Structure 1
Amino acid sequence: MRRRLINSTLAVVLVVIAVFGVSLVIVETRTIEAAAHDRVQSEAVRLFSVVEGKIADDERVTRGALAGQVTDGRYAEVDLPGGPPLTIGERPGGSVIEVTETGSRGERVTVMEARDRVNEELGQTLLIILAVALLAVGAAVLLAVRQANRLTAPLTDLAETAERLGSGDQRTRHRRYGVPELDRVADVLDASAERIARMLTAERRLAADASHQLRTPLTALSMRLEEIALTDDHTTVKEEAAVALTQVERLTDVVQRLLTKSRDPKAGTGTGFDLDEVVKQQIEEWRPAYRGEGRAIVHSGRTGLRAVGTPGAVAQVLATLIENALMHGAGTVALRTRVTGNQAVVEVTDEGPGVPADLGSRVFERTVSGRNSTGLGLAVARDLAEADGGRLELVQQRPTTFALFLAREHEHH
């Protein structure tokens, strides 16, 4: 493209120079020739006037008397009636400029000048025009190269940016070139890079959240299915299958909530539900795991509460808190329900050493964990709570107490 820009610019300049140069040569040639003819004619008129004056005064017309009237390099010939012609100077050969003046008595004056002088002036004029044309071509070359560099360098840079964007590098360049059209392309590429980066970040976050949030429910579901596979008791099979179906429904709801939040973080379609039932369900699901660790999980506080939200999302938040207490806490884990204002609150407390002072509220940040874990659990739990219209807080560090705040459903009398 750089070569094409230079060639096109030079082509335009050469055409302009050719058109104006030829026109200028034609005009200058005619001007020089006209000036030379006027000079010769002026001398012929002057010489003829001298001859006319001498004839009128009855003076003898001689060569010596006329020699001073003819410019060096020119040739003059005077024809007088009844006498031989008088010649002044040397008759030029080749092409000449000739002017003749004739009088009423038959006298005739002819002045000639060789075209060599005209040709010399024409040659000098052509050299000047050629020099100006060469300077114009040189300036055009410099201008074309500069303009080509100004255009091709940004285009090359934009092409590299697009190539990096296609290869997965979403860093924005924020580089502009002073050319409105190219700057607009750069704006579009930067906006595309930012949009792709946001999309990739959202996809990676969704994948990480989903893998973390589905791990525990899938493990629990696998254990239920193993229990079903190992037992011959029809009643036990039915009970375990019912629990497994409940877990599958909650799992489906969690996946739907994650997908909904990834599309619209402000989306929330919660309805009224029985909070006691969700808390009781989680205690029943986690009691075997706690029993296996020699620990207990208990429930206390106000009963009969109804909250606004999605049971599956609330169950997943509580499951994260209970699992967190199992992994990082110690002793008995207590779930206590209470009311504050127009909110229903579920607190999860354990008897462990508490949250380290250096972590504090940072436990909700992604990648922050008290032990060797992903650090996603509490962050995702808070996201799920907020997407459901509630909030999750660390209300006490020692002993560790997390509180899930949910809007209460208004009672109808």
Structure 2
Amino acid sequence: MRRRLINSTLAVVLVVIAVFGVSLVIVETRTISSSAQERVDSEAMRLASIVDSRLISQEHISGAILRDQVATARYARIDIPGRAPIEIGKRPTGDVISATSPGEQGERVTVQEPRAAVTREVGRTLLIIAAVALLAIVAAVLLAVRQANRLASPLTDLAETAERLGSGDSRPRHKRYGVPELDRVADVLDASADRIGRMLTAERRLAADASHQLRTPLTALSMRLEEITVTDELDTVKEEATIALAQVERLTDVVERLLTNSRDPRTGSAVAFDLDEVIKQQLEEWRPAYRSAGRAIVSSGKRHLEAVGTPGAVAQVLAALIENSLMHGGGTVALRTRVTGNQAVIEVTDEGPGVPPDLGARIFERTISGRNSTGIGLAVARDLAEADGGRLEMLQTKPPIFGLFLSRTPLSKNETAAEKTVR
């Protein structure tokens, strides 16, 4: 590309120089020739005037007297009636420029100049024009190289950026080149990098959330299936199978919820539901795990509370809190329900050491964990709560108390869950 830019610029300059250079040479040649002819004509007229004045004054006229009136390179011949011709200078040979001027006393003055002098002057002019043209060509080449580098280097840089973007590096470069068209391309590439980066982040987040959220229902389902395999009682098999089917339905709901949130986290199916049913379901699912750990899980507080939200999402939030207490807490885990204003609150607490002071409010940030865990459970739980128009907060660090706040008033048709959260 650099070579093409340099060649095209040089071609344009050469064409311009050829057109204007030839025209300038023709004009200058004619101008020099005309000037030389005018000088000779002027000298012939001036010499004739001098001869007239001397003839009228009856002064002596000779070549020695008039020699100073004729330029060195010129030849002059003065023809006076009745006298011998007077010649001044050496008569030129070859091509000459000649001018003849008659006098008032009948004399005739002829001035000649060799055309070689004009040719030399034309040659000097051509040399000057050629030197200027050469300087113009050198300047054009330097300018073309500079302009080619200015255009080609950014294009190479943009190609590398596009290649880097295609290989998965979605970091925008925010580099500009001072050329509006190239800067526009850079803007588009940076915007594409931002979009791709957000998409990749969303995909990674979805994968991490799915891995974390599916682990709990799969574990619960596995426990139910183990109960079925170790018992011979038909009633127990039916009971455990019914619970396993419920776990499968919940697993399906978790998958749908994750996919829905990945497309639009504000999309939900908030309805009024009984909190007791969700809490009872969680107690049944988690009691086997707590018994295996030698711990207990209980519930207390106000009964028959109705809240507005998505039962599956609320169940996932409670499951994240219960699992967090199982992994990081100690003693008995208690789920307490209460009412504050127009909100129903579910508190989850345990008898463990609590949240370390260095974590504090960062406990809900992704990758923040007190032990060797994924650190995304509480972050996902808070996102699910906010998508339903509720909120998840840490009310106390020691002993740890987490509170899930849900509205008790159904949302209007024109009010989204996100708007309810902001309000």
Q: Could you say which residue in structure 1 is the equivalent of 2:396?
A: 396
Quote the sequence identity (%): 74
**Is contact 2:300–2:334 with CA below 8 Å preserved after alignment?**
yes
Aligned residue identity for 2:183 = D
Which structure 2 residue ranges, 5 or more long, are not aligned? 411-423
Q: Partner of 1:98: helix, strand, or coil?
A: strand
Does residue 292 (structure 1) correspond to residue 292 (structure 2)? The answer is yes
Q: Could you say which residue in structure 2 is the equivalent of 1:205?
A: 205
Q: Could you say which residue in structure 1 is the equivalent of 2:147?
A: 147
* Aligned mates of 2:124, 2:391 — CA distance in 1: 94
**Is contact 2:52–2:104 with CA below 8 Å preserved after alignment?**
no
**Is contact 1:251–1:312 with CA below 8 Å preserved after alignment?**
no
Q: Partner of 1:131: helix, strand, or coil?
A: helix
Q: Could you say which residue in structure 2 is the equivalent of 1:138?
A: 138
* Aligned mates of 2:409, 2:287 — CA distance in 1: 29
Change (3 A) 1:55 1:337: closer
Does residue 119 (structure 1) correspond to residue 108 (structure 2)? The answer is no
- 1:263 deviates by 2.2
- 1:116 deviates by 1.5
Q: Could you say which residue in structure 1 is the equivalent of 2:282?
A: 282
**Is contact 1:348–1:401 with CA below 8 Å preserved after alignment?**
yes
**Bigger shift: residues 6-15 or 123-132:** 6-15
Q: Could you say which residue in structure 2 is the equivalent of 1:75?
A: 75
Q: Which aligned pairs between 1:348-387 and structure 2 lie closer than 5 A? A: 348-387=348-387
* Aligned mates of 2:288, 2:95 — CA distance in 1: 126
- 1:120 deviates by 1.5
Does residue 180 (structure 1) correspond to residue 180 (structure 2)? The answer is yes
Q: What TM-score, normalized to structure 1?
A: 0.89
**Is contact 2:307–2:409 with CA below 8 Å preserved after alignment?**
yes
Change (3 A) 1:294 1:129: same
* Aligned mates of 1:188, 1:278 — CA distance in 2: 48
How many residue pairs align between the two structures? 410
- 1:319 deviates by 1.4
Deviations 1:238-289 (A, max 9, x none): 3222212211222222222222222223333311111111111111111222
Q: Could you say which residue in structure 2 is the equivalent of 1:238?
A: 238
**Bigger shift: residues 4-13 or 19-28:** 4-13
Q: Which aligned pairs between 1:254-265 and structure 2 lie closer than 5 A? A: 254-265=254-265
**Bigger shift: residues 77-86 or 220-229:** 77-86
Deviations 1:313-353 (A, max 9, x none): 11111112222222222222222222111111112222222
Q: Could you say which residue in structure 2 is the equivalent of 1:29?
A: 29
Aligned residue identity for 2:145 = V
Q: Could you say which residue in structure 2 is the equivalent of 1:46?
A: 46
* Aligned mates of 1:213, 1:120 — CA distance in 2: 98
Change (3 A) 1:41 1:245: same
* Aligned mates of 2:67, 2:288 — CA distance in 1: 142
Q: Partner of 1:178: helix, strand, or coil?
A: coil
**Is contact 2:52–2:105 with CA below 8 Å preserved after alignment?**
no
**Is contact 1:268–1:389 with CA below 8 Å preserved after alignment?**
no
- 1:65 deviates by 6.1
- 1:55 deviates by 6.9
Does residue 330 (structure 1) correspond to residue 330 (structure 2)? The answer is yes
- 1:78 deviates by 4.4
**Bigger shift: residues 370-379 or 78-87:** 78-87
Q: Partner of 2:3: helix, strand, or coil?
A: helix
* Aligned mates of 1:374, 1:63 — CA distance in 2: 120
Q: What TM-score, normalized to structure 2?
A: 0.87
**Bigger shift: residues 48-57 or 197-206:** 48-57
